[in-house]
Chain A
Amino acid sequence: MTPVQNALALLFLPLATALVTALFFRRQPAVGRALSLVAAAGIVLLGGRLIFFTENFTIAAEWLSLGPLTIKLGILVDDLTKLMLFVVAFIGFLIHVFSIGYMKGEAHAARFFGCLSLFMFSMIGLTLADDLIMLFIFWELVGLSSFLLINFYYDRPAAVLASKKAFIVNRIGDFGFLLGIILAYWAFDTITLVDIAARLDTSPDLVATSIALLIFCGAVGKSGQFPLHVWLPDAMEGPTPVSALIHAATMVAAGIFLLCRVGVIMTGDALTVILWTGVVTALFAGVTAFGQRDIKRILAYSTISQLGFMVAAYALGSLVALRNGADQALAGVTAGAAAAMFHLTTHAFFKALLFLGAGSVIHASHHEQDIYRLGGLWKKMPITFATFTLGTLALAGAPFFSGFFSKDAILLLAWQYQPVVFGLLLFGALLTAFYMTRLWSAAFLGAPRSDGAEHAHESPASMTVPLVLLSIGAVLAGYGWFYPSALAVVPTAALALLQGEGHTLVAVAGSAAFVFGAGLGLLFYRPGATGDFLQQRLPALYHVMAERFYIDALYDWYVAKVQQRFAMLLNFLEQILLAGLIVRGFAGLVGLLGLGARALHTGSLNAYVYWFLLGLVILWAGVAGVFNLQ
């Protein structure tokens, strides 16, 4: 098998199983599950072959040619692709295994597994894309798979609303992305990323900044950056494995991947905007997490916050490089991309772990998701508890866990760039430890506070084995030796940052943020509490946070009161003015001319002749200059 055949087989295997499931095995959950699992295993094998036994390569073919537009689609396999592919294939496989247990007894499981395969196809296509259009095509397809999986329970109104919200909010981001692609094509005369890099200096700065920011819009939508983050918490209506795979580990990280892919077209101005978007998102989502009681929603806001860290990391690295006078466009993997992708990788491990842990809890406690109605699970679900604790430590940035190193690299870049940004991100890190301790303490410690939690018992092996495997990654993925050499380029580059100026201070500060955050968490959120500390002491503040700072309400208001009313108004004008007045006016005019609507209705020859004469009159008038065009 040549590398190209390998890549194509990898891409189309999950599509094939999705199609076979959809066409022939809709009603057989067992077959759908088996096919999907075969696809996931095949992806690990084919992906592993591509990662470990194949040199980097790129190949493209002409797909469409019209006048000056030539679109070539193709495959690009480089270090970035390989790392992303590793995350998608490995975590994807574990989540498939987990789903076997989680979706047991679900009548529509075949649809679930078919959609999961469709998602894998889309995500792999996104990873392999060598150009902006192919990226966009698969970008939209991951959005479609996400839509289909969020409304997996399509008889639940909340799931339907959430899926629509996700799709439409993403389309708003894609609106910018598509405009960016169009501008990029006319600026660089190509959509192929490698060629864009080669032709870079021909573009004027303002256009380059616009292109960069427009493409960033896509990432804002998909990676849940402020203010388009609103869809992601609602997306938790989907089954929990979906939340783990799509809405935590892979798809939402696609925005980061996109930024790293198009790194060459970034400009200083654009990077500054991107930086602050990331910082605001990281803090905003971190604060909002305190106002949530649903275990999956807390994790969702945590995901948004961590994505903010990644976006900020990406911008910081390039800004530092630009300030140091480096030509960042031509460096292989830039510092920012390395830090962002490194955090993406460690985050994929521990956040997938946390979501699957949450899934295990929800599964065991008969769909209880309120953390204050759980409790006491440390004793009843020891494996879930142990692995969840490891995941929490990794996310909270406990020293020597994976999240500590990847966050340390980001903080170090921030320290080198600007003390203010460093301070804000450090505060963000503290918040992370704080709210995760709240979640951990309320859900697992103390005594059970509901029947569901009371009767919980450990999940089956198909669910706990993935938890254990993921927890290994959550602990160790911060060390360079964890990665085989084929994957090591990005982590090594990120870890090299940790040797940079100010590393001791930043490491100490990062550790202190964890200690303080976790300490505050234990102090304020005592195990066994039946209610929220903040809710009892500062109900007004808690309410604002629980209402997500009214941003969702603002969107709802806009949709219902502005957009819908404006549409209704236009529709009213349309119906009354056009359908009523003008057409009846025409009919009246026709009547005046002695034609009569009835004659027209029959399509008789006379009417045609009259109309023909009318046309001739207009023509004559035109030629005679009655209308007097310029």
Chain B
Amino acid sequence: MSPLPFDPLLLAIAAPLAVALAIALGLPKRFSVKLAYVGFALPALLALHCWYYFPADAADGYAFVTQYGTGLSALGISLKLGLNGIALPLFVMAGIVGLAAGLYAIQSGAERLKLYLMLLLIMQGGLMGVFASIDVFFFYFFHELALIPTFIMVGIWGGRDRNYAAMKLTIYLTLGAMLSLAGLIAIYVQSGANSFDLIELRRALGEAPLALSLQKYLFGLLLFGFGILVSLWPFHTWAPLGYGAAPSSVAMMHAGVLKKFGLYGFIQIALPLLPQGAPSWTPLLAWLALGNIVIIGLVTIAQRDLKQMVGYASVMHVGYGLLGVACLSVLGAGGVVLFMVAHGLTVALLFMLTTSIYHRTGTFDMQEMGGLAQKAPVLAAFFLTAMLASIGLPGPGLLNFWGELAIFMAVYAHAGWMVVPAVLGVVISAIYGLRAVGSVFYGQPTENFLAHQQKHPVTDLRWNERIPALILLVTLIALGIWPRSISDPINATLSAFYPAIEAVATRITP
């Protein structure tokens, strides 16, 4: 199916890791940077390649399947790679966001740039691996591979409160990851498949499902494990703090891609493997997700720090994803996948532009800015577009809108009135979104900002900042205009996976 003479998935994972290794082995700086371009670009190009050649009728729903021995076959672990309709859009998104984050990092002029790029490349390899793995062990392994550089980079290159933020991030995310791992291992042990291969696990559990009570416990474990990783309310406090402190490329890759691990885990693993365990947890999940949307939405309104605000906004929007998962349906889960792609691209763009704003204002405090559009109209246009996309305005945010619409449709079908607070998020996000745009770009600059401008003249967005922004924005808009390019594979895969779930799903609200 793939016209390439090699495995595109393995290369997409290995290329950034290999570049990272080369840099670690002492490549001179100028070669390092050049090679880093390759390391970030190859995964994106290969992902686009896979997308283009993705067949409509893949066996087991997977395409580009390859398997590599690991010497751990006694434990049922092998590096099995492949993409199905759910993984494909996220794999593409990971490639695109990674490329944009990489380009932004290269032009950032960070201290110890080589180390920074090396860690980012490791992260990128991990991100590609998460979505390309059919083997659950490697799914988890690649997540950790991407997560550990996150902690280190926040600790070294972070902004204000970086040590506290790094510690908190580590505690929460490790706890979340551990709970998830415990759940995944338990599934492996109990399934009797003697394999971490997701296809095998699904087959084994389809023939002999786990006992109902066990399914419930395991789902609960995964719920909190994945939930913490996705910043489910009230386990979300690591996110705004962590993103507030994280260097921009790290925030882009974590908030944009890595954080999707939890939602992806729900849709790809937890729901198909534990269908009967889910319904007893979904009311709780839905209520907590409303906490994300409404409570965190209102908290977002109260933020003064631009980067924290973007962090809170991302926590709020994740609530839509969790709500979609709670619907236990093809429509809900499909909406979540669309939404994850949209959210990943949008939030990455927002974090990136936030840093670009910081470089021009010298502060993240929105009340100390103002009037930036007069000096930087292109930056203003990009930020406004990104913010409108993030609040789901059809147009720039058409893909976000499709995702939200599918989720809302599912919520009404499965949870009735809960759709009302969920849609209320549309108003809440308009309030904080426009407030941010207004106070940063419109009106007149504050005195402090004017004084800052005297010392550091403001320039508009430079081309090496525009290019990563354009990569994200063009992808987002193109997918929004023609959502079927990803929704058709999503629909095909989910329709094959989810009959068992939809059969047992119950309404969330009476």
Binding site for B on A (CB under 8 A): 22, 26, 62-69, 71, 133, 136-137, 140-141, 144, 151, 154-157, 160-161, 163-164, 167-168, 171-172, 174-175, 178-179, 182-183, 185-186, 563-564, 566-568, 570-571, 574, 578-579, 582-583, 586-587, 590, 597, 600-601, 603, 607-608, 611-612, 614-616, 618-619, 622-623, 625, 627, 629-630
Contact = CB atoms under 8 A, between A and B. Distances in A.
B394 A154 contact: no
A186 B213 CA distance: 34
A151 B374 CA distance: 13
Contacts of A178: 405, 408, 423, 426
| Interface of B (DSSP majority class) | helix
23 contacts: A64-B406, A66-B338, A67-B491, A67-B494, A140-B395, A144-B395, A155-B443, A155-B444, A168-B427, A168-B430, A182-B412, A182-B419, A567-B299, A568-B302, A570-B299, A579-B237, A601-B151, A601-B166, A601-B170, A603-B152, A603-B170, A611-B178, A615-B178
A592 to B, nearest CB: 14
B214 interface: yes
Interface of B: 148, 151-152, 155, 163, 166-168, 170-171, 174-175, 178-179, 181-183, 186, 213-214, 216-218, 220-221, 234, 237, 241, 280, 295-296, 298-299, 301-303, 329-331, 334-335, 338, 371, 373-374, 377, 381, 388, 393-395, 398, 401-402, 405-406, 408-410, 412-413, 419-420, 423-424, 426-427, 430-431, 434-435, 438, 441-444, 483-484, 487-488, 490-491, 494-495
Contacts of B171: 583, 586-587, 590, 597, 600
A137 B170 contact: no
Given A65-B487, A583-B237, A571 B302 contact: yes
Contacts of B484: 62-65
A67 B334 contact: yes
Contacts of A69: 331, 406, 409
Contacts of B178: 608, 611-612, 614-615
Contact of A133 (B237, B371, B405, B442): B405
A167 B441 contact: no
| Interface of A (DSSP majority class) | helix
Of B178, B218, B338, the most chain A CB neighbours within 10 A belong to B178
A151 B384 CA distance: 13
A67 B442 CA distance: 43
B331 A175 contact: no
Contacts of B430: 167-168, 171
B221 A186 contact: no
Contacts, number: 202
Contacts of B423: 175, 178-179, 182
Nearest to B492: A65
A450 B216 CA distance: 79
A567 B302 contact: yes
Contact of B394 (A137, A564, A583, A623): A137
Contacts of B434: 163-164, 167-168
Contacts of B186: 619, 623
A185 to B, nearest CB: 6
Contacts of A579: 237, 241
Nearest to B177: A611
A188 to B, nearest CB: 13
Given A140-B395, A154-B442, A582-B237, A623 B295 contact: no
A92 to B, nearest CB: 20
